[in-house]
Each structure stands twice: as structure tokens, then as C-alpha cells.
Amino acid sequence: MTENTGKGASRRQFLAGAAALGAGTVAASVAKAAGPDPLITEVQEWATGLGDGVDATPYGLPIHFESDVRRRNVGWLTADTISSINFTPIHALDGTITPAGCAFERHHSGAIELAKEDYRLMINGLVDTPLVFTYADLERFPRENHVYFCECAANTGMEWAGSQLNGAQFTHGMIHNMEYSGIPLRTLLEEAGLGAAGDLKDKWVYVEGADASSNGRSIPMEKALDDVLVAFKANGEALRKEHGYPVRLVVPGWEGNMWVKWLRRVEVMDQAVESREETSKYTDTLADGTSRKWTWVMDAKSVVTSPSPQMPIKHGPGPLVITGMAWSGRGAITGVDVSLDGGKNWQKARLGAPGAKNALTRFYLDIVWDGSEMLLQSRAHDETGYVQPTKKQLREVRGENSIYHNNCIQTWWVTADGKAENVEVS
């Protein structure tokens, strides 16, 4: 075990020996017998008058009681808020679908406003007929709907050096899971014709955005012809500005930087471009100081979202629902294990629904908490047999100076008063 310093003797003793936990299958009753409750026995203000009419909120927004459920950024993480990121409040969500209004943002030159009437998408390069599509053109092609997660490659990146950010939103919140509607990229490539490209085995497409950063990435043709979408809807409505309105690329299971927003160009090429975003950035630093590239896939990962630092246990000992989410870019999640003692013992969690390929899976573990301290962890398994690693296992391969693709097991130290803190148990 590895611990952060300066947190007090009680914490050091606990992390050194772990807690003896008295948490079993839920058997106790949640409801308690009590005397008369005025919220039940007396007429309340909200029941004595009329509420808002149907024209009060033409576009529905969350009620003000839930105003704390919102995206947040970390001011010191980047030099400004333009080329920056904010985080999905995953700690406060349940189920698997992320509301568009709180799905994380990552920009390289800010979120631009591009009217769909002004939108153009060019397909060029090694194609039979270079084409330019308008938004109206795209709407005429057969479309598909798929639920996919999008995860920034730097999600959990600050945790390589140890426990840094105290909250699931900040450690794991560079992710969303939405239903995307759009056209398979292969449909547009076939419309342009790929005969000029010859053998497609070693061909690539270079995709580029319309914002000032001209964010561009190289994608192997095999992936481009598989499940990549040119999307213009998310969760049933038009993309939000911050998510690439009017059109973005969706690259299922692969790092979020490849999901190019404001997509303006797809060029068929006989080699990768080796752009800034795939050389000096979005490559993985190894222990010997070299870097590896083309590590696009987001491996199996999970995190307990409650209890967690932003979601303490407030009700004291008794029935407790431990919940979190798991995902894998290699396929569907097949199982999640939860440990209450820092990985010494594991229990199989209950999946909220069968795992779906390249989408978030919600998991639950229902226990009776006796008030003992816990070291909460989760460990994901996917359909390829891959098992989420410990940080020690990752560091053995990549050292401590990496940033991207940190999918190690996360630990929350839950104290007897129900509060939780980010700690490292390697």
C-alpha cells in the first residue's frame, strides 16, 4: 500500500492495516418507525395553490433545488478557460445517460458558433470524386442511433503521481455517455468512391475540425469503415455548441480527442499525418522517457461514484447503496467487483443492465454498513477478458510521468463519519 503523507496518524494506521468491516447483504429496514411527521400530517404550502403553467419553461431545465449538479472546472489545471476542460458531475448522476447540459467540455480554442446553414463537410484525397456536403445533404442519408461513451484520454491523468483531486467529478469526470444519431462515415466515403485509394488495408483518413485550433487526427481506414459516425444529434436533440454543433465525429471506444467537433474535412490518405495531436500530445510517456503512439482505445475502467468525496454517507450506519459506473472501449462490460478493504476481498456487484459495447454500465452493491471505515474500490471486466489494473501494474510498464490512458483502480477512504477522501492504494 502507498499513502499520501501529512494526513494524520489515524489515517496512516488505517491505511497500513485496513479496517475490519462489518458490511453484509442488505437485510435491515431503511424506514424507521417514528411519531407524527408534519410533512405528512399537515397541509403544506405547495398543496394550497396553483403551480406554473405549461408555458413557464418552453425548454425544460432542472429545478433550482438541483443547481449543484453542474459541470465544474479546476482553475489551476490550465492557463485559461478557453483551451481547457470542465468535468461531468458523475458523482450526482445515476443510470447511464449523461444529460447534454452537464456533459464535460474539452476545447483547444473555445466553443465556436457555426450555423448549420453555413456548415460544409469536404471528403477529399484518395477518392474517386471529391465531395462537399451541406447540413441539409447529410439529413438525407440513412442514419443510425447508438449510445456511446466519450472519454478524454487525459481523464484521471492527474492521478499518475498520486492522489491529487478530491472528488469523482474531478478524477473521472472527463467522460459522458449519450445517444448519438448520425450517418456511418463509411456511407459518405463510399459516396465519394474509394477506388482511387486502391488497397484499403494500409490507408488512413485524416479528420479535421472547423475551429481555430484545426484539431486533426489520423484514423486507420479499418476503423473509419467500421463504426465511426458523422453525428448531428445527441440524446435526441441537436448537438450543443460545446459538443460540436452542428456536426461532430463519433469514434466509439477511442479517445475523445479523435471525436473531432465542428467536423469540416475527411481526407483519405496513404499514411498518417503525424499531427501535433498525435505526436507531442496524446502519446503515452513510458518509464524510460520514450513515448508510444497509436494507443487509441480506452481500456476497461470503473469508479465508485457514491459514496465518494462529493457524496458522503449522511444517514449513518444501516442499508447503503454503493454505486458507480464502468466502461470499456474494447467491448461490453461483463462484470464489476467491489472491495471494501482496499482490494483484499472482492464482492461481485450487480449491473443495472447488461453491459453494452462502448457504453457506460451502471453497477450497484447493496450492503448494511456498520459504520466501520472502508477503502472502497471497483474493478471492471470486459468481454475480451481484460481486467482493470492496479496503479502499481500500470507504473511497472509506464513509470510515473505519464498522463494519458490512466485506467487504474481508484480508492476512496470512507471514514466512520461517512466522509470520503481520495487516497492511493497501489
At residue 287, the 3 state secondary structure works out as coil
29 band by pLDDT with thresholds 50, 70 and 90: low
- From CA 343, how far away is CA 266, in angstroms rounded? 46
pLDDT of residue 1: 38
At residue 91, the 3 state secondary structure works out as helix
Give the range of the structural domain holding residue 164, as residue numbers without chain letter: 100-291
Q: Is the pLDDT of residue 365 over 70?
A: yes
Cis status of the peptide bond prior to 317, with omega within 30 of 0: no
Q: Are 307 and 420 in contact (CB under 8 A)?
A: yes
pLDDT digits (tens, 9 = 90+) for 161-178: 889 999 999 999 999 999
Q: Where does a domain end: 240, 268, 291?
A: 291
Q: Is the pLDDT of residue 23 over 60?
A: no
Q: How far, in Å, are 210, 211, 214, 271, 280 from residue 108 at the CA level?
A: 12, 9, 9, 25, 15
- Lowest average pLDDT, out of 203-217, 278-292, 294-308, goes to 278-292
Number of neighbours of residue 233 by Cβ within 10 angstroms? 17
Q: Is the pLDDT of residue 2 over 50?
A: no
Residues 141 and 285 in one domain: yes
pLDDT of residue 24: 53
Residues 124 and 249 in one domain: yes
pLDDT of residue 17: 47
Q: Where does a domain end: 261, 291, 321?
A: 291
pLDDT of residue 114: 98
% the chain with pLDDT above 90: 84
Residues 14 and 105 in one domain: no
Q: Is the pLDDT of residue 109 over 60?
A: yes
289 band by pLDDT with thresholds 50, 70 and 90: confident
- How many domains, in total, are found in the chain? 2
User: Of 105, 1, 4, whose CA–CA distance to 422 is shortest?
Assistant: 4
pTM for the model: 0.91
Give 12: exposed, middle or buried? Use CB within 10 Å, 0-12, 13-18, 19+. Answer: middle
**Can you state the percent helix, strand and coil of the chain, rounding each to 5?**
20, 30, 50
pLDDT of residue 7: 41
User: Of 114, 104, 14, whose CA–CA distance to 421 is shortest?
Assistant: 14
383-410: buried (b, 16+ CB within 10 Å) or exposed (e) per residue? eeebbbbbbeebbeebeeebbbbbbbbb
Residues 162 and 229 in one domain: yes
- From CA 266, how far away is CA 186, in angstroms rounded? 11
We report the CATH number of the domain holding residue 283 as 3.90.420.10
% the chain with pLDDT above 70: 92
- From CA 188, how far away is CA 230, in angstroms rounded? 9
Give 191: exposed, middle or buried? Use CB within 10 Å, 0-12, 13-18, 19+. Answer: middle
Q: Is the pLDDT of residue 35 over 50?
A: yes
Mean pLDDT of 284-299: 90
pLDDT of residue 9: 42
Higher pLDDT, 17 or 33: 33
pLDDT of residue 161: 83
- Lowest average pLDDT, out of 22-36, 215-229, 380-394, goes to 22-36
Residues 322 and 390 in one domain: yes
Average pLDDT, the chain: 92
Mean pLDDT of 250-267: 98
Number of neighbours of residue 18 by Cβ within 10 angstroms? 19
- From CA 195, how far away is CA 191, in angstroms rounded? 11
Q: Where does a domain end: 276, 291, 306?
A: 291
pLDDT digits (tens, 9 = 90+) for 79-90: 999 999 999 999
At residue 301, the 3 state secondary structure works out as strand
pLDDT of residue 6: 38
pLDDT of residue 383: 98
Residues 267 and 330 in one domain: no
- From CA 248, how far away is CA 243, in angstroms rounded? 8
Domain contains 82: no
User: Of 356, 360, 352, whose CA–CA distance to 323 is shortest?
Assistant: 352
Domain contains 322: yes
Domain contains 87: no
User: Of 157, 152, 106, whose CA–CA distance to 402 is shortest?
Assistant: 157
Residues 285 and 325 in one domain: no
Report the run of H or E that residue 411 belongs to, with start and end.
strand 411-414
Residues 114 and 131 in one domain: yes
Domain contains 406: yes
Q: Can you read off the three cell numbers belonging to residue 251?
A: 469514434
- Long-range contacts (CB closer than 8 Å, 24 or more residues apart) made by 63-72: 68/92, 69/93, 69/102, 70/102, 71/102, 71/103, 71/104, 71/105, 72/169, 72/170
pLDDT of residue 379: 99
Q: Is the pLDDT of residue 358 over 90?
A: yes
418 band by pLDDT with thresholds 50, 70 and 90: very high
Residues 117 and 224 in one domain: yes
Residues 253 and 104 in one domain: yes
pLDDT digits (tens, 9 = 90+) for 307-341: 999 999 999 999 999 999 999 999 999 999 999 99
Q: Is the pLDDT of residue 127 over 50?
A: yes
We report the CATH number of the domain holding residue 16 as 2.60.40.650
Residues 308 and 324 in one domain: yes
267 phi/psi in degrees, rounded to 5: -110, 125
Q: Are 355 and 361 in contact (CB under 8 A)?
A: yes
Domain contains 95: no
pLDDT of residue 5: 36
